[in-house]
Amino acid sequence: MIHSLFLINSSGDIFLEKHWKSVVSRSVCDYFFEAQERATEPENVPPVIPTPHHYLISVLRHRIYFVAVIQSEVPPLFVIEFLHRVVDTFQDYFGVCTEAAIKDNVVVVYELLEEMLDNGFPLATESNILKELIKPPTILRTMVNTITGSTNVGEQLPTGQLSVVPWRRTGVKYTNNEAYFDVVEEIDAIIDKSGSTITAEIQGVIDACVKLTGMPDLTLSFMNPRLLDDVSFHPCVRFKRWEAERILSFIPPDGNFRLLSYHVSSQNLVAIPVYVKHNISFREGSSQGRFDLTLGPKQTMGKSVEAVLVSSQLPRGVLTANLNPSQGTYTFDPVTKMLTWDVGKINPQKLPSLKGTMSLQAGASKPDENPTINIQLKIQQMAISGLKVNRLDMYGEKYKPFKGIKYMTKAGKFQVRT
Amino acid sequence: MQEWANQLCENRQFGSKMTDSKYFTTTKKGEIFELKAELNSDKKEKKKEAVKKVIASMTVGKDVSALFPDVVNCMQTDNLELKKLVYLYLMNYAKSQPDMAIMAVNTFVKDCEDLNPLIRALAVRTMGCIRVDKITEYLCEPLRKCLKDEDPYVRKTAAVCVAKLHDINAQLVEDQGFLDTLKDLISDSNPMVVANAVAALSEIAESHPNSNLLDLNPQTINKLLTALNECTEWGQIFILDCLANYSPRDDRESQSICERVTPRLSHANSAVVLSAVKVLMKFMEMLPKDLDYYGTLLKKLAPPLVTLLSAEPELQYVALRNINLIVQRRPEILKHEMKVFFVKYNDPIYVKLEKLDIMIRLASQANIAQVLAELKEYATEVDVDFVRKAVRAIGRCAIKVEQSAERCVSTLLDLIQTKVNYVVQEAIVVIKDIFRKYPNKYESVIATLCEHLESLDEPEARAAMIWIVGEYAERIDNADELLESFLEGFHDESTQVQLQLLTAIVKLFLKKPTETQELVQQVLSLATQDSDNPDLRDRGYIYWRLLSTDPVAAKEVVLAEKPLISEETDLIEPTLLEELICHIGTLASVYHKPPSAFVEGSRGVQHKRLTSSAGSGESVESPDTGSAAVSEAPPTVIPSQGDLLGDLLNLDLTPPTSTGPPPTTAPGMQLGAMDLLGGGLDSLIGDESEPPPIPLRTDTPQSPQPPHQSPSPPHYSPTELGGDIGGSPAMGTGFGAPPAAMPASFNAPISGGLDDLFDLGGGGGLTMGTYIPPKSVWLPAMKAKGLEISGTFVRRSGVIQMEMTLNNKAMSVMSDFAIQFNRNSFGLAPAGPLQILTPISPNQSIEAALPLSTVGPVMKMEPLNNLQVAVKNNIDVFYFSCQYPISMLFLEDGKMERQVFLATWKDIPNENESQFQIKDCHLNSDAASNKLQGSNIFTIAKRTVEGQDMLYQSMKLTNGIWVLAELRVQAGNPNYTISLKCRAPEVSQCVFQNYETVLKN
């Protein structure tokens, strides 16, 4: 099982270590540093690294490497999923997951890690249970604790761990009973030079924020559940009911959680919200290149496309870019060669464009590679797959909750080749 | 104003107190002392703050173990947080302060009886983490109680504690019967307890491969499946991994398990999904293919696998490595999902490379157009490694999907037109493969390829291009010019290119003999006379002889039709694949290596095989395949650089390595050189009424009988192709039989046996001392990247040693030395690894003595005493050859009895006699005799006839060959005459040279 954990910051310092079995010397991280040196980019460090006696499994989050040390055969996904859970927990507790935040709360971090893993076996990883065991630090509580000498550690047994619904704590009480659901879809797509779609798929999630008193039993149904190709549920969802009726039936955890994630890959269902007209070219023998980019809405079902951000890694030979945006602002980093154009909202009447020239190093030959354009965008009040929630009902409790559903579409890895 | 500032400062302090970062700032002196005082404070709050500071120091690796007693004193408290903090500290430092840790035992035992189950659990959990033997004794009773606790939270914690205890003291756990209690917990009513019991048992089972701890039967399986639905995600992983070890009795049971596992495919935790995939992939094998459910299941597997690919990159990587296995086993599952493997430009490189691999595996006629378009796109990306792999992938597509070959070739030609250097080189390498797969189809492109000849600077590309020119020499008008242009810098080329060039020119010669005679002679002489590389020389000689003896045969051999290359070269071997499918989701599946390679010090891991529906109704897997199965692990064929030695010559002359038992006693089956050298001795020994004197030596390797006379199995196993490499075990694995495989008579330690021998019989003969030739330079630094080796051979006390001086003339440190000999006339081989323990720094030289044995593989060399050596270091492998004085091989017991000598002398036919003159030697006969005895050349008799001394001498070689000599010394005449008689007259020349050097030094 998981033996030890090392946290390493971007400058290569080990700033926290935790051992669940015997102590593993931090020199084991040298193998990690070697791999890090070989990788050109921080993201390219391989996630599984063998060493003579151990295996190092790492994830990179918020510019911190979380490096787990294992000694025997342990499923790597198990370790990676656990590390993700650690990151999520830190973020949940401290608002951000940064080196500073972790150092500021090192004792809580240590207590958390101790609760999350026992002898390498995961113990309590649900945020609900953890929060019962160890209270998240708030400025108010820290002050109170400092003055009164009380502690962060909860005194009662984490009852939730043993109940049939381990994800929900008992005795929840709210004055305002509310349940909010966000349907968020991300489009991953590759568009080729000519504008035709090579691949497109939708990764969707339904994130919930449920603050309901007692033990509510909810059902959520969709207008068009057959859209979904593959679904992954929160453990609270009753799978049989979904299989039989395509209805989500569940006792929700308290607070924020991800109810469902889904995947739509049937291509005819994936609408492409924007198109890009581009002309990025260099002429042989000239040190000037042309850059010409125009964006326009495509299939948006009448909704407006907002928060558009275009970025592109220009060829290494490019020295400067002298461009003129019709709207928004652009920056070009001459070191990383990254061009970013903050477009904002697309106005269908007056399409945003970015035009101008790029200059190459004098005497440099025409670059071989074609830059890829990466697009981020948001469309409010629409799930691009067309998924719609039909109704949400609550059983088991008497009060009338306030219910809300929000839709949003974003671009995930949306890439246009040139 | 001052007051205001002070207040601000105080506020600041207060502000900084909000966080724990203040614990990091205490670096001043006397820190430990201060903490000690605070820990012993009466104020609860101060105590807790102090413990927190201690913990913070501990987490950043500061040593605060000196505070042990003070911290332990804080343990008896009602404050849960303080208790936990102290526990944290204890776990960390108990090991270094075992006596102090005992102090804590009482509190633990008391806490295990606490009313609050949380405290009971916490106590038993912490006790298990204190890895001190003394404490574990006290742990047993509380643990036993906790395993039967009424509260499931305590029970599940206790279950894990058994695994902890087992890790510290396995015997104790068995003696106390905890394993049985743990097994009972599998039937616990609480799913979390079940899951933890399974997890603990699985971990314990890893170190007990045969213990049958997880004895799975339909009842326990049912319990597990019930718990599966209700336990946490982590518990589900443990249970699924455990289920995967079960072998269902029949297809119906298989199906019912699959049905109950399928819902796990919709879990949000990817590890649960992959473990479920493993169970399904394994149990699917048992389902009849015509079953409707089988098809349904296949369809259900694809979506979750696709979803895994939209996760974080590191999850993707593990998923992709596993999908690679799944695709090889059951390509039908993902055959329609090609597009999800298309590469995004900002994927991490490790994801890109894996995706590319799977794209090729999924490539078929239906999707090849799409795939090619993508690959062409990738070939213009920035990352060089990725681009190369993409170009290679195009070649693999061409070989895999025949219909696409033409399109692939034209895509490759397009890429060559880009003139990007590495793309061009990579393209030429793959085009060579395409030519081999589809001969006589795409040769029209050769002209285009030839245009890029100059730009090729990588060995592999150069070799590929040379191969193409040689193979199609008849269609390329200026093939001779092209090849000649490569020949100019022949010695600067890498071995790969040299070998290819040699072969290509020979091919060219056979195709166009008239105009290329000069060229072929040039290359043959370059390869044989001017090269130090044994492989190259071997191949050169073979061609030379072939061409000179039988050009028709040469044509048949060299221009023979080549076997077509297989469609997919890197498929995993089927038995390994089956095993890996049973281990989906594990490290083994990520590395595509057998699971036994992943458990430290494991004596055995159950080898799992897929049980197919053909054998349904029977549980095929038997539990006792355990440890025995390890040795049956499929032989891994690791092509290492050492394979260079398995060169053309060796392969041609030796029987295939895989043929079962080595050949039996028939002398004809021995290697050719053995026959030449030792064959004639049969009659010699056989004719004698009295065997030669061999006191106490019947079981030494140097037994005087020729090896094939011995009743024991043959000594020279022909499977030992390249001889054992000394030193690096990693390289050694690639070669022939390990020493352990030698027949028993060879197991006596060589040096030991010979020492005895020397003590008993050698006596005064060595007063003169052996002649040791001075060291000469064998490997000049220029040819070996700065490594210079000079050396000589010594025979001391019956042990042959190669004494070397290794001189590092390079700028960097050299290390990891290993040495290997090519097969040679007398089977010289390193008796042990080359002992160079410390790296050699620049300008340093090191002396090394390598003991040699004579039981290595045999091949006749030219000259006979030539030895080809390969030395490896961290930089490269280097080859050189040297000649050893044959007297190294003269045995200490080489003194024949007079009678025997006479009979033998007569018996050896006169044509085996050779006469030599030794000029300018000014020793008298006695001095000469003494001197020669130092080199184990023994004078048996001396006769004086007409003022001429005749010395009759004998010597015996390590392989049992006797050499008889008559040395005539005339007083006053500096010229000696020597007659040598031997059954193997080949050695005479060497022996004569040896006489000369010994007598003259």
For B781-792, what is each residue's pLDDT tens digit?
Answer: 877 878 888 888
Q: Is B585's CB within 8 Å of A84's CB?
A: no
Distance CA B840, CA B873 (A): 10
Please give the pLDDT value at position A160: 46
Contacts of B281 (CB under 8 A, 6+ apart): B301, B326, B329, B330, B581, B584
CA distance A353 to chain B (A): 23
Q: Which of A77, A132, A236 to mutate to test the interface with B (most CBs of B within 10 A)?
A: A77
Of the candidates B579, B612, B580, B585, which has an alpha carbon nearest to the alpha carbon of residue B248?
A: B612
Show residues of chain A in contact with B15, CB under 8 Å: none
Q: Provide the token pair at B811.
A: 């700028």
Q: Tokens 């050396």, residue? A: B791
Cα A401 from Cα A241, distance rounded (Å): 23
Nearest residue in chain B measured CA to CA from A17: B59
Total number of residues shown for chain B: 1001
Q: Span B73-97, mean pLDDT?
A: 78
Residues lower than pLDDT 50 in chain A = 149-150, 155, 157, 159-160
Task: Please judge whether B19 and A190 are an interchain contact, meaning their C-beta atoms are less than 8 angstroms apart.
Answer: no
Whether the CB of B350 is below 8 Å from some CB of chain A: the reply is yes
- Assign B23 a pLDDT band (cuts: 50, 70, 90): low
What confidence tens digit (pLDDT) does each residue in B803-834 have?
888 888 877 788 888 888 888 888 888 888 88
Do A121 and B160 make contact, defined as CB atoms within 8 angstroms? yes
Please report the pLDDT score of residue B189 as a whole number.
Answer: 87
B173 touches chain A (CB under 8 A): no
Instruction: Please name the helix (run of DSSP H) or strand (run of DSSP E) that holds residue B683, with its range, or none.
Output: helix B681-687
Record the pTM: 0.68
Q: Is any Cβ of chain A less than 8 angstroms from the Cβ of B367?
A: no
- Per the model's pLDDT, the better-predicted residue between B572 and A310 turns out to be A310
Asked whether the beta carbons of residue B203 and residue A1 sit closer than 8 angstroms, the reply is: yes
- The whole-number pLDDT of residue A185 equals 94
- How distant, in Å, are the alpha carbons of A81, A83, A84, B307 from that of B312? 10, 12, 10, 11
The whole-number pLDDT of residue B794 equals: 86
What is the per-residue pLDDT for A407?
Answer: 94
Residue A48, pLDDT score? 93
Each residue's pLDDT tens digit, B241-279: 999 988 888 888 999 999 999 999 999 899 999 999 999
The helix, strand and coil proportions of chain B, stated in percent and rounded to the nearest 5, come to 55, 10, 35
pLDDT given at position B651: 34
N-terminal to C-terminal alpha carbon distance within chain B: 102
Position with higher pLDDT, A151 vs B757: A151
Range from A130-134, B679-683, B963-967 carrying the lowest mean pLDDT = B679-683
In 10 A of CB A266, how many CB atoms? Answer: 12
Question: What Å distances lie between residue B548 and B500, B524, B553, B648, CA to CA?
Answer: 20, 12, 10, 18
B497 burial (CB, 10 Å; 0-12 / 13-18 / 19+) is: buried
Q: What pLDDT sits at residue B209?
A: 62
- The partner residues of B840 in beta bridges, in order of sequence, read B814
Spatial distance between the Cα atoms of B829 and B738, rounded to a whole number of angstroms: 13
* Cα–Cα dist B226/B131, whole Å: 35
Q: Which one of B48, B124, B232 would you mutate to disrupt binding with A, by most A Cβ within 10 Å of its Cβ? A: B232
Which of B52, B161, B234 lies at the smallest CB-CB distance from A107?
A: B52
Percentage of chain B beyond pLDDT 70 is: 79
User: What is the rounded distance in angstroms from the CA atom of residue B568 to the CA atom of residue B253?
Assistant: 36
Q: From the CB of residue B530, how many other CB atoms can be counted at a distance below 10 Å?
A: 12
Nearest CA in chain A to B600: A72
Say what the pLDDT of residue A146 is.
53
Are the Cβ atoms of B585 and A77 closer than 8 angstroms?
Answer: yes
| Contact assignment for A71 to B317 by CB distance below 8 Å | no
Is A244 in CB contact (< 8 Å) with chain B?
no
Q: State yes or no: pLDDT of B947 exceeds 80.
A: no
What's the gap in Å between the CA of A237 and the closest CA on chain B? Answer: 10
How many of the other CB atoms lie within 10 Å of CB of B385? 12
Question: Has residue B480 got a pLDDT over 80?
Answer: yes
List, in sequence order, the alpha helices (H) in B401-458. Answer: 405-417, 421-437, 446-450
Output the CA–CA distances (angstroms, integers) from residue A66 to A70, B19, B61, B257, B347, in the order listed. Answer: 13, 22, 17, 36, 20
List, for residues B586-613, the tens digit of each pLDDT value: 888 898 888 777 655 443 445 566 666 5
Average pLDDT, chain B: 76
pLDDT band at B446 (very low <50, low <70, confident <90, very high): confident
pLDDT at B750: 41
Most confidently predicted of A383-387, B4-8, B480-484: A383-387
Q: Answer yes or no: is pLDDT of B213 > 60.
A: yes
pLDDT for the residue numbered A163: 58
Do residue A233 and residue B266 have CB atoms under 8 angstroms apart?
yes
CB-based contact (8 Å) between A160 and chain B?
Answer: no
Cross-chain Cβ contact B118/A157 below 8 Å? yes
What is the interface pTM, i.e. ipTM, of the complex?
0.89
B785 with B810: CB under 8 angstroms? yes
| Distance of alpha carbon A418 from alpha carbon B377, whole angstroms | 10
A-chain residues near B84 (CB < 8 A):
111, 114, 153
- The residues, ordered by sequence, that sit 6+ positions from B39 with a Cβ below 8 Å of its Cβ are B47, B50, B51, B54, B67, B70, B71, B73, B74
- What is the pLDDT confidence band of residue B282, given thresholds at 50, 70 and 90? very high
**Is B561 an 8 Å CB contact of chain A?**
no
Q: Which residue of A has its CA nearest to B16?
A: A104
Q: How far is it, in rounded angstroms, from Cα B942 to Cα B926?
A: 9
Looking at residues B738-758, what average pLDDT do you find?
39
Nearest to B630 by CA among B655, B683, B594, B679: B594
Q: Which residues of A touch B381 (CB under 8 A)?
A: 369
pLDDT 10s digits, B363-385: 988 899 899 999 988 988 888 88
Average pLDDT over residues B905-928: 82
Sorted by sequence, the CB contacts under 8 Å of residue B565 that are 6+ apart come out as: B399, B433, B436, B437
Classify burial at B2, counting beta carbons within 10 Å of its beta carbon; exposed 0-12, middle 13-18, buried 19 or more: exposed
Most confident among B289-293, B311-315, B610-614 (mean pLDDT):
B311-315
